[in-house]
Amino acid sequence: MTLGIITASVFAVVLAIFRPLLYRYFVQKAARETQPKYAFFTELTLCLVAGITLYTYNKITYGFPLYSLFPLMIGCIIAGFFIGLDAALNQERLIILQAMRQDYTAPLPKKLFSMTRKFSLITVSLTFFVAMLMALVFTRDIVWLTKVAQNESSIHSAQLSVTYEIFFIMAVLMVLIINLIFAYSKNMQLLFKNETKILEQVSDGNLSQKVPVATQDEFGVIAGHTNNMIDGLRHRFELLSAIKLAEEVQQNLLPRSSPYIKGLDISGTSLYCDETGGDYYDYFQVKENRLGIAVADVCGHGVGAAILMTSVRAFLHMAAASYQSPAELLNAINIYITRDCSISGRFTSMFFLEMNPAEKSLRWIRAGHEPAHFFDSASQTFSLLDGPGLVLGVDQKHQYQDSIKTDLKTDDIILIGTDGIWESTNSNGEMFGHSRLKEIIHSNASRSAEIIKESIINNVVSFREELPQEDDITLVVVKIM
């Protein structure tokens, strides 16, 4: 009883005096991720200091021999181990709660201290300490039993004493181990609940919060990767919003309706394989009673092509204000396009058609673009509106020349398109081709330009079956009335 009171008093004094100081200057000032480790070593050190102090007091007061220091220090190490683990888990819990309150999102842990490693280290340490403790107890009990009187009553009493001693030690160890298990489970539950909460919010589309990174184990790694995922999703949502805005802007740059020109039936459209694209078509009311039709295809598709397409459109509208002929128009815009595309190497093909319904004539430029299809209603034959011409954006000094066609007749049909139509492929790798396009025009020749256009689009979509659209599609159908 006296020894127990002395031991408890020494531990109480050491913990009361040194523990607050060590936590203030040694644990709390350490980096957040290392505080549990420092808390463990602080408790272990305090127990060793208390053990040395206790031995010194017993040595001076009661004359304890030096060999009694060994079992005392073993007991202090075991006590410090359990107290330190409990303190480390408690400090980790405080860090987790603080991180949750402050929404602390540190980067991925640089050094992973895995849960498997933790469990292995604790299990090996516990096994070693329990074995050492039991060895000390049994050694002392054997020495004590040799001094017990050799009669039945004394032996029975000694057996009961050893049994009670073993049960007491096992009970104390069991309580300590269960306490550690509950403390560790509580920390894991906090981490798991917080991770699940954030992931549920992400599933609902809420990306306003992140998972606090409070540990250097697998939960810290998962939290770090989850936060990287949230950052990625935020960036993607911002990008999608920007692309959606770009899509709206680009769609507003295309004609909202076909122009009404006496003697002409016109219909056009653009279908992009991405939210934005590089195809473009437009109508221009040029001098006198003439109509200019431009169909362009910027190299590539997507956002980059859409940006270049916007520049091409701006140059085209600027030059159209002083329009004289298709050749002069493209000579003017080619200078600006080449200047802007000289570094990137991008280029633009364009077919520009000038129609004069009164004179039943055409003038056009084929700047590297696919020739337009011309259907002669009288002979029921097809020809191409071909001609020389380099793509825009390659050579500033290139001079374009007009091509001319006269004697247009009623029901003649002109189709200007991009390669996304005839290069569409099906699941067998077969291309839509020009032959199918001509068949559609021929079979719908008596119908309006709008119906011809819709029939071409529907047939191309049906031909692709379930395959996605791989390139932008633009076409303008003109029928002579």
Report whether pLDDT(108) > 70.
no
Both tokens of 438, joined, read 């001509």
Distance, CA of 455 to CA of 462 (rounded, Å): 10
Q: Which of 67, 57, 75, 178 is nearest to 135 (CA)?
A: 75
Q: Which of 394, 400, 335 is nearest to 363 (CA)?
A: 400
Using alpha carbons only, give the angle 47, 51, 53 rounded to the nearest 5 degrees.
Answer: 115
pLDDT by residue (tens digit) across 32-86? 778 888 999 999 999 999 889 888 888 888 888 888 888 888 888 888 898 999 9
Report whether pLDDT(105) > 70.
no
Report whether pLDDT(253) > 80.
no
Give the mean model confidence (pLDDT) for residues 435-460. Answer: 94
Beta strand 361-367 with 403-405: parallel, antiparallel or unpaired?
Answer: antiparallel
| Predicted local confidence at residue 408, as pLDDT | 92
| Predicted local confidence at residue 246, as pLDDT | 62
Amino acid residing at 418: T
Report whether pLDDT(447) > 80.
yes
Backbone dihedral angles phi then psi of residue 474, each to the nearest 5 degrees: -140, 135
| Predicted local confidence at residue 170, as pLDDT | 86
| Predicted local confidence at residue 242, as pLDDT | 67
Distance, CA of 270 to CA of 208 (rounded, Å): 37
Average pLDDT across the chain, whole number: 85
Distance, CA of 455 to CA of 437 (rounded, Å): 10
Distance, CA of 426 to CA of 30 (rounded, Å): 65
Sheet holding 381-385, edge to edge: 264-271, 473-480, 413-417, 372-376, 381-385
- Would you give the DSSP letter of residue 356? E
pLDDT by residue (tens digit) across 6-26? 888 888 888 888 888 888 888
Both tokens of 235, joined, read 């960036």
Report whether pLDDT(243) > 70.
no
pLDDT tier, 199 (very low <50, low <70, confident <90, very high otherwise):
confident
| Predicted local confidence at residue 169, as pLDDT | 82
pLDDT tier, 107 (very low <50, low <70, confident <90, very high otherwise):
low
The CA radius of gyration of the chain, in Å to the nearest whole number, is: 43
Percent of the chain with pLDDT over 70: 92
| Cβ-Cβ contacts under 8 Å for 100 (sequence gap 6 or more) | 190, 194, 212, 214
Q: Where are the domains of the chain?
A: 2-224, 254-480
Determine the topology of domain 254-480 in CATH: Phosphatase 2c; domain 1 (3.60.40)
Report whether pLDDT(166) > 70.
yes
pLDDT tier, 247 (very low <50, low <70, confident <90, very high otherwise):
low
Provide the greatest CA pair distance for the chain. 139
Report whether pLDDT(277) > 70.
no
Backbone dihedral angles phi then psi of residue 44, each to the nearest 5 degrees: -65, -40
Report whether pLDDT(94) > 70.
yes
Q: Which residues pair with 374 in a beta bridge?
A: 383, 414
Report whether pLDDT(302) > 80.
no
Cβ contact 413:453 at 8 Å? no
Q: Which residues pair with 268 in a beta bridge?
A: 476
User: Roughly what angle, to the nearest 10 degrees, separates helices 218-253 and 303-320?
Assistant: 20
Beta strand residue intervals within 176-289, DSSP E: 264-271, 279-286
Give the mean model confidence (pLDDT) for residues 82-94. Answer: 89
Q: Is the dihedral of CA 230, 232, 234, 237 positive or negative?
A: negative
pLDDT by residue (tens digit) across 332-387? 999 988 888 766 668 889 999 999 998 899 999 999 999 999 999 999 999 999 98
pLDDT tier, 132 (very low <50, low <70, confident <90, very high otherwise):
confident
Which residue in the block uniquely carries the two structure tokens 């916007």?
Answer: 310
| Predicted local confidence at residue 270, as pLDDT | 86
Choice among 100-114, 134-148, 356-370, 428-442 with the minimum mean pLDDT: 100-114
Distance, CA of 63 to CA of 435 (rounded, Å): 113
DSSP reduced 3-state for 426: coil
Helices vs strands, H then E, count in the chain: 10, 10
Q: How far is CA 48 from CA 12, 53, 134, 424, in A?
A: 13, 9, 20, 81
| Predicted local confidence at residue 149, as pLDDT | 61
Distance, CA of 12 to CA of 6 (rounded, Å): 10
| Predicted local confidence at residue 275, as pLDDT | 59
Q: Which of 29, 73, 39 is nearest to 53 (CA)?
A: 73
Q: Which of 117, 49, 56, 105 is nearest to 77 (CA)?
A: 49
- Would you give the DSSP letter of residue 383? E
Beta strand 290-298 with 279-286: parallel, antiparallel or unpaired?
Answer: antiparallel
- Would you give the DSSP letter of residue 33? G
